[in-house]
Chain A
Amino acid sequence: MAEVHIRLENLCKSFGAKHVLRGVNLDIYRGEILYIIGKSGSGKSVTLKNIAALMRPDSGRVLIDGLDIHALAEAELNQLRRKMGVLFQMAALFDSMSVFENVAFAPRRFTKMGEDELRALVQQKLELVGLRNVEHLNPSALSQGMQKRVGLARAIALDPEIVLYDEPTTGVDPILAAAVDDLIRTLNAKTGVTSIVISHDINSVFRTAHRVAMLYDGVFRLVGTPADFRNSDDPVVRQFIDGSAHGPIPIL
């Protein structure tokens, strides 16, 4: 796990007077499952959006395979994006299209596959996330958990090397959350993708992560294995993983 896949270099981002990221540094290794945790508003999503090139940092760089993604021309960035899948918090399925069209979206645009091949590919990706015979349905006919699965199938349709998950277990019941965690682990084991997961679900973190990075006050407070977090005596880390309202972290 030594090869650096994604490197965050001194990322800074402010919104008006609010400094959300104040110099974030992190190396993410190829094939690992990295969880970024932190309380709401700590800049987890901003970090993820910077990695997905949906938002530009004020300063600092995001290097993927050594390429500064925010310095790339659009065509090059789009080449790189084909190797990256994103699962959005509410799945963000295209509601004007069927499940099939959603999953087939990128392959249809970027490969020369015929309809039969597309059909086989979509079926295979859906089975990988545990779904069958839903191709013809509209996203609105699916439960939230199924929408997330379809969103994941769409994200991995082009066999990406990186998958980003934006709070995959927020707002779902504990059983489904466990299923989503299984999915993240299975996908990682089967395809070797580098997975970055944003979460504040401590159970998920300990169940799934290879490494964990905690954002606090615009920088990473602690980066380490789940065991490092369990054994940490930093009061900020302790308060977060114990889920206590009392401690150094201001609630408002």
Chain B
Amino acid sequence: MRKLKQSLLSFFERLGEAILALLETIGAFSIFAGQTFRYCFVPPFDFRNLLYQMSEIGVKSIPVGVVSSFFVGMVMALQLGGPMEQQIQGISAFMGGGISLAMVRELAPVLTSVLLAGRVGSSIAAEVGTMKVTEQIDALATLATNPVHYLSVPRFLAALFCIPMITVMAIVVGILGGALISNISLDIPYNLYFESARTLVRTKDLVSGVSKTFFFGAEIALIACFSGFRARGGAEGVGQATIQAVVFSFMMIIVSDYFITYIFQLFGL
């Protein structure tokens, strides 16, 4: 009985500690995000650094985003065409609309963001984490430079602007990939495909799909920088921070996708 009581106690103790740690992390993250927002509007504005980050985060991510999206468009046409045609003859005339709608509203935004969370989130977390454990972040502070201002702001802004742009490219290329396979394996003429896409996809779909990625971009950069800043104790700590950044941003993208879409639908988007 006493043993049971004791193990129960220690269970609750550990549960409490875990909850406290979680709350502490959420609090610290909120402060960090708030600081990053605030420093976006505080001089000096480091345009050179911002351009560099846009090239690192944005330009260099174009190939991975675009190629993946092209193949997703292709495989959708491949997977959907046969079964749909078996059920209802002639339904594949709507293939263009179906693929495009899926691409615009969900696939391209989420896929691009998840890919970039892997590519960009890991590199930011590893870089900032290494700077943390080698005292480079302390060095910044002693050089009268706020580390959040110097490191987090350009990465945050670069992700915020670049990820929506890559998403737009991914949408276009994904729709083209679908068109190609629809034409080759289902004999759907290109004009029919694009006609159906034009009827089904509205401007509001595009607005909904692309504006989501602003949130995803912000999540990726903030989580990655935050993990980097909290890295501790050498190479292992940097590894932990990197894993944390990638896993959390994956999860946050998928979870927030649902809620953002839900809220958008309330506003008719």
Is the Cβ of A109 less than 8 Å from the Cβ of B145? yes
Is the Cβ of B144 less than 8 Å from the Cβ of A88? no
Residues of chain B lying within 8 A (CB to CB) of residue A249: none
* Min CB gap A212→B, angstroms: 24
Is the Cβ of A78 less than 8 Å from the Cβ of B139? no
Residues of chain A lying within 8 A (CB to CB) of residue B142: 52, 54, 81, 84-86, 155
Residues of chain A lying within 8 A (CB to CB) of residue B141: 52-54, 81
Chain B: CB-nearest residue to A80: B144
Question: What's the Cα separation between A49 and B141 when bound, in Å?
Answer: 11
Chain A: CB-nearest residue to B150: A109
Residues of chain B lying within 8 A (CB to CB) of residue A92: 134-136, 138-139
A–B Cβ pairs within 8 angstroms, 25 of them: A52-B141, A53-B141, A78-B145, A81-B144, A85-B142, A86-B138, A86-B142, A88-B138, A89-B135, A90-B135, A92-B134, A92-B135, A92-B139, A93-B139, A94-B139, A95-B130, A95-B134, A105-B143, A105-B145, A106-B143, A106-B144, A109-B144, A110-B144, A154-B139, A155-B142
Residues of chain A lying within 8 A (CB to CB) of residue B127: 96
Smallest CB-CB A-B distances: 8 pairs: A92-B135, A78-B144, A92-B139, A81-B144, A86-B142, A88-B135, A106-B143, A92-B136
Taking A78-B145, A105-B145 as known contacts, 15 extra A-B pairs with beta carbons closer than 8 A to each other, sorted by chain A number, are A52-B142, A54-B138, A54-B141, A54-B142, A78-B144, A81-B143, A84-B142, A88-B135, A90-B135, A92-B135, A92-B136, A93-B139, A94-B139, A96-B127, A109-B143
Q: Does A82 contact B (CB under 8 A)?
A: yes
Chain A: CB-nearest residue to B135: A92
Q: Does B25 contact A (CB under 8 A)?
A: no
Q: Interface residue count for A (Cβ, 8 Å)?
A: 26
- Chain B stretch 119-136: residues in CB contact (< 8 A) with chain A: 127, 130-131, 134-136
Question: What's the Cα separation between A138 and B85 when bound, in Å?
Answer: 62
Residues of chain A lying within 8 A (CB to CB) of residue B144: 78-79, 81-82, 106, 109-110
Q: Interface residue count for B (Cβ, 8 Å)?
A: 15
Residues of chain B lying within 8 A (CB to CB) of residue A88: 135, 138-139
Q: Does A173 contact B (CB under 8 A)?
A: no
Residues of chain B lying within 8 A (CB to CB) of residue A49: 138
* Min CB gap B24→A, angstroms: 14
Of listed B44, B127, B136, B142, residue having the most chain A CB within 10 A: B142
Q: Does A74 contact B (CB under 8 A)?
A: yes
Is the Cβ of B136 less than 8 Å from the Cβ of A95? yes
Residues of chain A lying within 8 A (CB to CB) of residue B146: 74, 78
Chain B: CB-nearest residue to A79: B144
Question: What's the Cα separation between A53 and B136 when bound, in Å?
Answer: 15
Residues of chain A lying within 8 A (CB to CB) of residue B135: 88-90, 92
Question: What's the Cα separation between A94 and B136 when bound, in Å?
Answer: 6
Question: What's the Cα separation between A49 and B135 when bound, in Å?
Answer: 12
Question: What's the Cα separation between A89 and B136 when bound, in Å?
Answer: 11
Of listed A52, A82, A109, A155, residue having the most chain B CB within 10 A: A109
* Min CB gap A93→B, angstroms: 8
Residues of chain A lying within 8 A (CB to CB) of residue B136: 92-95
Chain B: CB-nearest residue to A96: B127
Residues of chain B lying within 8 A (CB to CB) of residue A79: 144
Chain B: CB-nearest residue to A86: B142
**CB < 8 Å neighbour of A86 from B44, B139, B145:** B139
* Min CB gap A230→B, angstroms: 33
Question: What's the Cα separation between A247 and B35 when bound, in Å?
Answer: 50
Chain B: CB-nearest residue to A166: B135
* Min CB gap B129→A, angstroms: 13
Residues of chain A lying within 8 A (CB to CB) of residue B130: 95
